[in-house]
Structure 1
Amino acid sequence: MSARIPTLDIRRFEGDRDAFVAELGAAYREWGFAGISHHGIPQALIDDAYAAFRAFYGLPDEVKRRYHVPGQGGARGYTPFGIETAKGSKHFDLKEFYHIGRELPEESKYRDVMPPNIWPEEVPEFRERGLALYNALDALGSRVLSALALHIDLPADFFADKTNFGNSILRPIHYPPITADDIPNVRAGAHGDINFITLLVGASTAGLEVQSKKGEWVPFTSEGDTIVVNIGDMLERLTNHVYPSTIHRVVNPPGDAARQPRYSVPFFLHPNPDFLIDVLPSCITPDNPSRYPEPITAHGFLEQRLREIKLK
């Protein structure tokens, strides 16, 4: 079933641009999800980052909690197990995670809403490897946005100055082994993402499921070097649902597989905090009138959603 969600070779964006843009746009209109292969991010860079993240999650609980900042909504640093809850869910997700944000220049006007990163001193390689993966995924995300812009008749660089200081987040996630049967919680409850697009490194372990337009849950386990990229709520709103933010979840595996930990690393690509999310005129038609007459800033939208998922 996973083959139903397309995987595309992003090298074609350079050599076969029109066809690639058409196929990518069609995939996102239908699914809100696609796999991106041959992206050029070295596997060694990904493996090194994962090794650092695993080292952190192997630390004692009291040590990890030193990097939790209460009242910040998990914006940076560590968020313990049992806090984040999918919108509308009664049960918290079975995960703990860490947030790495953009390193801003000293004079940045966004410092008041984008706090500095927090680095665990017990894992000295965490910073260098985390930022290397952050920057690689940020660049790949910009390429995907260029293709998406072209598909809706915008210039290829439309998003460049709207995301260059985006409040984007790299989130290494640890789903601990599940030791009890018949629990109501799942590793990640059904949800849509908040941001423009999400790039997921580590969907090669079974568990990710995507809800089709018919309401079916479709497993999406990537192969090879594929990175899963999906649309978030901000881009859905900006494009008046031309690009849908699809509901997805991470289910608990059956049997002995549940007793194994699971790791994944999504990169949530956000626009700049003061970007005004106002429906694009090119996405308004007689058949698709504007669904959002009132614009909202990216930061305002983010704050609203963080309260809904109990991070604030």
Structure 2
Amino acid sequence: MDLAQLPVLSLADDAASFADAIGASFREYGFALVKDHGIDQNLIDEAWRLTEAFFALPEEEKRAYFIPGIGGARGYTPFKTEIAKGATAHDLKEFWHVGRDLPEGHPLSATMAPNVWPARPEGFQDLFTRLYAAFDLAGATILSRIALHLGLEDDWFEPAIADGNSVMRLLHYPPVADAEGGAIRAGAHEDINLITLLLGAQEAGLELLTKDGRWVGVSPPEGAVVINIGDMLQRLTNHVLPSTTHRVRNPDAQRAGHSRYSMPFFLHLRSDFPFHTLPQCITPENPDRYPVSITADDYLQERLREIGLKK
């Protein structure tokens, strides 16, 4: 399997240089690799430990945190629940979602459920509350650079993501004993949100689809995160910044007995954000694909139904 030739960018570089570099990587691949993102490595190491400990709990205990009717927005989602849009086999994964807690009476409360927390493992709530905040800050900084690349003010996204519906997902892909019906760990899909920040998994498997139709691996170096464009940013930019199809393939035979863990942070807009295509992304050659405005939550609910998390 070939690896994508993604440059490793440093968020410590000056804003204009980083903006140019991430824009070039995004336009070519829809993906970028970023180091010096400011998320503390000790926090990350403890997050991996607690993630593994949670998914090792008995099935009955984990399922006590499954909340029907909210599309997996918070708490536990059992194995083989999610299905990629257009796929026939469910993904071989289980996951836990941590979201943003809003103060009581907040106007967006109806679209964002409160978090639930497991009794075990100890320290889970405190650790993942802190990690969520670190992801939130890093993501906002990266978006400020993307704004510069698009010719916007660097603070353009700030009101758009204030109290945004961002979700941190703790993912467990169990050992693959028998992939019935062509099931794979995560079927070919695009993300729904603005951008995704992904902590690298120890086990290989993440692949992106290139413009010429080849699947290539994505392997971030130690300490770097994978950043990819979601469909909301693609929509906002009229496909100038493309949301790239990606998947998590099943392991080779010698690794089939090993679990895979990963930790994406799906950075979302405010639920009431109205989509209006950015004017600078509309040209005679690239006319506005989305003349009708909908809210970010309308778009999210539509997509959740498509991937089987909502009826």
Task: Show the counterpart of 1:48.
Answer: 46
Q: What's the TM-score once normalised by structure 1's chain length?
A: 0.96
Structure 1 residue 296: Cα displacement? 1.1
| Native 8 Å contact 1:100 1:130 kept in 2 | yes
The 3-state SS of whatever aligns with 1:259 is: coil
The 3-state SS of whatever aligns with 1:100 is: strand
Structure 1 residue 107: Cα displacement? 3.2
1:179-198 → structure 2 map (5 Å cutoff): 179-180=177-178, 184-198=182-196
- Find 2:71's aligned residue among 55, 70, 73: 73
The 3-state SS of whatever aligns with 1:276 is: coil
* Identity percentage of aligned residues: 51
1:228-267 → structure 2 map (5 Å cutoff): 228-267=226-265
Structure 1 residue 181: Cα displacement? 6.2
Q: Comparing 277-286 with 189-198, which one deviates more in the overlay?
A: 277-286
The 3-state SS of whatever aligns with 2:18 is: helix
Output the CA distance in 2 between the equivalents of 1:223 and 1:197. 20
Task: Show the counterpart of 2:266.
Answer: 268
Tell me the alpha carbon deviations over residues 34-73 of structure 1, each in whole angstroms, 9 at most, x when there is no partner: 0011112111100111211111101100010000011111
1:166-185 → structure 2 map (5 Å cutoff): 166-180=164-178, 184-185=182-183
Q: Which amino acid aligns with 1:199?
A: L
Output the CA distance in 1 between the equivalents of 2:31 and 2:246. 10
Q: Comparing 103-112 with 75-84, which one deviates more in the overlay?
A: 103-112
| Native 8 Å contact 2:89 2:181 kept in 1 | no
Task: Show the counterpart of 1:88.
Answer: 86
The 3-state SS of whatever aligns with 2:182 is: coil
Structure 1 residue 205: Cα displacement? 2.7
Output the CA distance in 1 between the equivalents of 2:309 and 2:11. 34
Q: Which runs of 5+ in 2 are unaligned?
A: none
Q: Comparing 177-186 with 205-214, which one deviates more in the overlay?
A: 177-186
Output the CA distance in 2 between the equivalents of 1:120 and 1:182. 31
Output the CA distance in 2 between the equivalents of 1:248 and 1:135. 26
Q: Which amino acid aligns with 2:133?
A: N
Tell me the alpha carbon deviations over residues 134-180 of structure 1, each in whole angstroms, 9 at most, x when there is no partner: 11111111111011100111000000111021110000000001112
1:1-312 → structure 2 map (5 Å cutoff): 1-2=2-3, 4-12=5-13, 16-180=14-178, 184-312=182-310
Q: Comparing 198-207 with 167-176, which one deviates more in the overlay?
A: 198-207
Output the CA distance in 2 between the equivalents of 1:213 and 1:32. 10
Output the CA distance in 1 between the equivalents of 2:153 and 2:46. 36
The 3-state SS of whatever aligns with 1:277 is: coil
| Native 8 Å contact 2:79 2:94 kept in 1 | yes
Could you say if the C-alpha distance between residues 118 and 181 of structure 1 is closer, same or farther in structure 2, counting changes exceeding 3 Å? Answer: closer
Q: Comparing 286-295 with 190-199, which one deviates more in the overlay?
A: 286-295
Output the CA distance in 2 between the equivalents of 1:35 and 1:20. 12
Q: Comparing 262-271 with 38-47, which one deviates more in the overlay?
A: 38-47
Q: Runs in 1 of length 4+ with deviation above 6 angstroms?
A: none
Q: Comparing 214-223 with 172-181, which one deviates more in the overlay?
A: 172-181
| Native 8 Å contact 1:209 1:218 kept in 2 | yes
Output the CA distance in 1 between the equivalents of 2:116 and 2:3. 37
Output the CA distance in 1 between the equivalents of 2:178 and 2:76. 25
Structure 1 residue 182: Cα displacement? 6.8
Structure 1 residue 256: Cα displacement? 2.0
Output the CA distance in 2 between the equivalents of 1:252 and 1:90. 16
Q: Which amino acid aligns with 1:51?
A: R
Q: Which amino acid aligns with 2:275?
A: I
Structure 1 residue 186: Cα displacement? 0.4
Q: What's the TM-score once normalised by structure 2's chain length?
A: 0.97
Q: Which amino acid aligns with 2:11?
A: I
| Native 8 Å contact 1:204 1:223 kept in 2 | no
| Native 8 Å contact 1:204 1:222 kept in 2 | no
Output the CA distance in 1 between the equivalents of 2:47 and 2:153. 34
Could you say if the C-alpha distance between residues 278 and 246 of structure 1 is closer, same or farther in structure 2, counting changes exceeding 3 Å? Answer: same
Output the CA distance in 1 between the equivalents of 2:28 and 2:21. 11
